[in-house]
A = this chain, B = another copy of it.
Amino acid sequence: MQDFIFESRTRIVFGRGTENRVGEETARFAKRVLLHHSGGHVVSSGLLDLVKERLAEAGVGWVELSGVKPNPRLSLVRTGIELCRRERIDFILAVGGGSVIDSAKGIAVGLPYQGDVWDFYDAKLAPQTAARVATVLTIPATGSEASNSSVLTNEDGPWKRGLNAECLRPVFSILDPELTFSLPPYQTACGIADMLAHIMERYFTAVPHVELTDRLCEAAMKTIVRNARPVMEDGDDYDARAELMWAATLAHNDLLGTGRAGDWASHRIEHELSALYDIAHGAGLAAVFPAWIEYNLDRDVRRFARFASEVWGVDGAEYDPEQAAREGVARLKAFYRAIGLPASLEEADVPLDRVREMAERAVVKGPLGSFRKLAASDVEAILRIAARPRA
């Protein structure tokens, strides 16, 4: 086990109707907030109006900034920073999914900084402070509601970059599984792929003696896999929606990574897919992660065999670990396909003509991963495995 610091301070308010508490929760921190969202469903569903009502009742005012897109854009973050400065606001309430929350975090971290907020995402310097962020979550997926991370896309490039800093952790997040009933199947599935990937990135570690967190990871992965089908079949299944929502948060609040080194190469590779083709993050992960496993199988075949056995119920891992590990990859791909996601680049409509370019872009800041360090040639090889539609 590695030494670690664990500090996950976000207050989680979980359950039916908890969005009604947004006023009192916010009033503990601010009298006036930036209300940040994507427009669309949060408006048409009435959620935004309810949030405004509760804020008003609690004596909290707001300025609104709508228009967040999936793969949230740096340009809107810059607009938000200007708006908050002009309006003297230093609390951002994100109502939506991971894109809205990540955009809110971008605004929060750029607000007290005199330079360009992209400096942080481009790893030129580490932020020490940020305005406060809180969330009313509508999509269980990114875990951004309790994580210290934010991912933005800079349209000049385009570059998709992630930032991790403790000051980015929301002060509270409201999680009502009923708000996710209306999520379309494809978005539900992308969320499932994303939360599962957050655990796999931590689970596939080269650090030995991580017994407790191995089992905690397996517990969360099993729960996600076994509640995916109920939710795909009946979007209004509260119990299954609740399991997925809580699992998504725990997948990425750092608990499951304590004492371990995460890998994150698959995420970095996926960022290149999203940057060039603007595909949904979860779908990109489904297309890439199985290939990453296949490419790295020989690095620690017993870990992948255990993954197959514990998460996918594959038998015989103790007799033929490689065979079990390969069966695990096959079941992972079958799972993605069963919930309507692509399990290869072709299924994701990603052409192969820019594979080398993506590989080179992925390693522009240095080799990827910690389970095995990956150079551009490794990334290219992974993308070529991912290209095989039925491999």
Distance from A6 Cβ to chain B, minimum over Cβ atoms (Å): 4
Q: Which residues of A contact B (CB under 8 A)?
A: 1-16, 18, 208-209, 211-212, 215-216, 218-220, 222-223, 226-227, 239, 242-243, 246-247, 250, 255, 258-259
In the assembly, how many copies of this chain are there?
Answer: 2
13 residue pairs bridging A and B, Cβ less than 8 Å apart: A1-B242, A3-B14, A4-B14, A7-B10, A7-B11, A9-B9, A209-B242, A209-B243, A215-B218, A215-B219, A215-B222, A216-B219, A219-B219
Q: A209-B239, A223-B215 are in contact. Are A8 and B5 (CB under 8 A)?
A: no
Distance from A7 Cβ to chain B, minimum over Cβ atoms (Å): 4
Point out the residues of chain B lying under 8 angstroms from A243, CB to CB: 1, 209, 211-212
Name the residue of chain B whose CB is nearest to the CB of A176.
B3
Point out the residues of chain B lying under 8 angstroms from A239, CB to CB: 1, 208-209, 211
Point out the residues of chain B lying under 8 angstroms from A208, CB to CB: 239
Name the residue of chain B whose CB is nearest to the CB of A11.
B7
**A247 partner, pick from B2, B212, B219, B220, beta carbons under 8 A:** B212
Distance from A42 Cβ to chain B, minimum over Cβ atoms (Å): 22
Whether the pair B15, A6 counts as a contact (CB closer than 8 A) is no
Q: What are the 10 closest A-B residue pairs judged by CB atoms, nearest first?
A: A3-B15, A215-B219, A209-B239, A7-B11, A6-B12, A212-B223, A219-B219, A1-B242, A9-B9, A216-B219
Give CA–CA (A290, B10) in the complex, Å. 37
Whether the pair A14, B9 counts as a contact (CB closer than 8 A) is no
Point out the residues of chain B lying under 8 angstroms from A215, CB to CB: 218-220, 222-223
Name the residue of chain B whose CB is nearest to the CB of A249.
B6
Whether the pair B1, A12 counts as a contact (CB closer than 8 A) is no
Q: Besides A2-B15, A212-B243, 5 other CB < 8 A contacts? A: A1-B15, A5-B13, A6-B14, A209-B242, A211-B223
Give CA–CA (A8, B9) in the complex, Å. 6
Point out the residues of chain B lying under 8 angstroms from A3, CB to CB: 14-16, 18
Point out the residues of chain B lying under 8 angstroms from A219, CB to CB: 212, 215-216, 218-219
Name the residue of chain B whose CB is nearest to the CB of A256.
B216
Q: A242-B1, A247-B212 are in contact. Are A258 and B14 (CB under 8 A)?
A: yes
Give CA–CA (A8, B220) in the complex, Å. 19
Whether the pair B246, A258 counts as a contact (CB closer than 8 A) is yes
Distance from A140 Cβ to chain B, minimum over Cβ atoms (Å): 12
Give CA–CA (A211, B223) in the complex, Å. 7
Give CA–CA (A222, B212) in the complex, Å. 8
Point out the residues of chain B lying under 8 angstroms from A6, CB to CB: 11-12, 14
Give CA–CA (A239, B250) in the complex, Å. 24
**A246 partner, pick from B212, B220, B250, beta carbons under 8 A:** B212
Give CA–CA (A212, B222) in the complex, Å. 8
Point out the residues of chain B lying under 8 angstroms from A222, CB to CB: 215
Give CA–CA (A242, B207) in the complex, Å. 14
Point out the residues of chain B lying under 8 angstroms from A216, CB to CB: 216, 219-220
Distance from A304 Cβ to chain B, minimum over Cβ atoms (Å): 19
Whether the pair B212, A220 counts as a contact (CB closer than 8 A) is yes
Whether the pair B8, A4 counts as a contact (CB closer than 8 A) is no
Name the residue of chain B whose CB is nearest to the CB of A4.
B14
Name the residue of chain B whose CB is nearest to the CB of A242.
B1
Name the residue of chain B whose CB is nearest to the CB of A12.
B6
